[in-house]
Amino acid sequence: MNILQTEDTICAIATAQGGAIGTIRVSGPEAITLTDRVFKPVSGKPLAGRAPYTLTFGYILTPEGEIIDEVLVSLFRAPHSYTGQDSTEISCHGSSYILQQVMQLLIRQGCRAAGPGEYTQRAFLNGKMDLSQAEAVADLIASTSAATHRMAMNQMRGGFSRELAVLRDKLLHLTSLMELELDFSDHEELEFADRSELEDIARQIEQVIHHLVDTFSVGNALKNGVPVAIVGETNAGKSTLLNALLNEERAIVSDIHGTTRDVIEDTMNLGGITFRFIDTAGIRETTDTIESLGIERSFQKLDQADIVLWVIDATCAEEQYRQLADKILPRCKGKHLVIVLNKADLLSSADSSADKQLARLKAALPDLPEDACVLSLSAKQKEGLSQLQKQLVDFAALPDLSQNDVVVSNIRHYEALSRALEAIHRVQDGLTMQLSGDLVSQDLRECLYHLGEIVGGTIETDEVLGNIFKHFCIGK
């Protein structure tokens, strides 16, 4: 499908299976005409003669006059619709058979089955929303918590776009001053702005872009979950801990060493925060090629995590700590480390408290990180999990967001902002070194270009737009 093909009429089922009601959306120049060919109102005019924003009750009929279903049809006329085109929405009973029959009738009359995200794509191409707002639609559908819902809603309502508009206005003002200096460079007596003013404007722009870039770590954690790597030796109880946290048998648990050979990921919500738990292969010396690959992936996931749960068998804690300390601790710098002393139920009552275990470890291993949190629990018996869950929420420390907070959560936006930040840094350097105006202007234009990539002002290729919208669901 050509991403810029918007002159045909498309249709798609826009609701999930299993509901009492199913909706089919039709959009395009002939949306009303083609819907009229399969729909007969109970009374009154056909859809083409009706006012927009009305509901009409009637029947979907086959060419032979057989009734497929009783339906309600919503009518929207261009440009006042979601896509900016003439549109109808047919609300049927939720039977998958009925919905497919209606779809087939529409396609026979000349509609085309819509591709993923094609309705929102048309809304963007017809100027109903910019690209960042269009991408927020998919985030809103996928939102799983109050925070992700607020982020997506703010972006869809244009909060991010307004922030970028302010930035672009400042950049254009700065660019215009530089261009004027170039146009009148032969009149040395004319001065449109002194360098200190230009540097002040550039500094304001840099601060805003830098702040937006910095919000990505929070936005990404809220959107995709705070990554938590579960690492340790084989048979320390990593998979048992994952199953206990998720309260389901997600990973295979066995007494055989090296059972987990690849990473297993799953998410759960704690205290309104989504955590992405990553169970990794047990770290040990092995000659097994497959297991070695799994262990290498364990270290890769450890590097990517914000929080590390190092699971240690409490019955041989000092030995396991010594064996892996030089492999794990250097990779935990800048991360939150929780040392989980598992299998506490196998210890004697006089030896099972976390405080005593911590005291023993510190006495035996003086290089234990000062900021490491040590907890004692039994994953098998599901004892001590609440303390671990509370610690995870404390370590995540994600802020409460309102719908007015602008937070970057889209990797494409982050990359564009990062390139814009590099460009404005070059502008600042150029102003400081008093480079010629044409060189500084080039970097200013590049900064403007990268900001334009976010809202879609500088995206011209089908391939880029296709890559963005292909991840949407059908019907949206």
Chain centroid to Cα 217, Å, comes to 11
pLDDT band, very low/low/confident/very high, at 78 (cuts 50, 70, 90): very high
Burial 368-385 (b: 16+ CB within 10 A, else e): beeebbbbbbbbbeeebb
Residue 75: is its pLDDT beyond 80? yes
Give dist(CA 455, CA 391) in Å, integer. 39
pLDDT band at 89 (very low <50, low <70, confident <90, very high): very high
Tokens of 113: 């089955």
460-473: average pLDDT: 64
229: number of Cβ within 10 Å: 29
174-195: average pLDDT: 62
pLDDT band at 231 (very low <50, low <70, confident <90, very high): confident
CA triplet 105, 106, 112: central angle to 5 degrees?
Answer: 130
Question: What six digits make up the tokens of 381?
Answer: 């018996």
pLDDT for 421-440, tens place per residue? 999 999 899 888 878 777 88
pLDDT value of residue 25:
97
Given a contact cutoff of 8 angstroms between Cβ atoms, the answer to whether 389 and 270 are in contact is: yes
Which secondary structure element, helix H or strand E, spans residue 368, and what is its range? none
Query: What is the rounded distance in angstroms from the CA atom of residue 93 to the CA atom of residue 69?
Result: 7
Q: Which residue has the higher pLDDT, 164 or 468?
A: 164
pLDDT tens digits, residue range 156-178? 888 888 888 888 888 888 877 77
Q: pLDDT at residue 246 above 50? A: yes
Tokens of 373: 């949190």
Q: So what's the pLDDT on residue 153?
A: 85
Tell me the pLDDT band of 351, cut-offs 50, 70 and 90: low
Which two tokens mark 257?
A: 């060493």
d(CA 201, CA 251): 55
User: What burial class does residue 63 get, using C-beta atoms within 10 Å of its C-beta: 0-12 exposed, 13-18 middle, 19+ buried?
Assistant: exposed
Place of tokens 């002939």: 30
Grade residue 27 by pLDDT with cuts at 50, 70 and 90.
very high
Residues in the chain: 476
pTM of the model: 0.70
Structure tokens at 275: 């955590």
- Provide the pLDDT for residue 152: 84
How confident is residue 67, by pLDDT bands cut at 50, 70 and 90? very high
* CA separation for the pair 291, 284 (Å, rounded): 9
Q: How far is CA 106 from CA 7, 18, 90, in A?
A: 16, 22, 11
Lowest mean pLDDT among 17-26, 105-114, 166-175, 274-283: 274-283
pLDDT, greater one: 464 or 69: 69
Structure tokens at 139: 């985030």
Helix axes 159-183, 131-142, angle to 10 degrees: 160
pLDDT digits over 374-426, tens only?
Answer: 888 888 888 889 999 999 988 887 766 666 778 888 888 999 999 999 999 99
Q: Would residue 15 be called left, alpha or beta, if left means φ above 0 and alpha means ψ between -120 and 50 degrees?
A: beta
Stretch among 12-21, 296-305, 309-318 having the lowest mean pLDDT: 296-305
Residue 372 contacts by C-beta under 8 Å, 6 or more apart in sequence? 337, 338, 339
Average pLDDT over residues 22-48: 96
E-assigned strands of 166-324? 226-232, 264-270, 273-279, 307-313
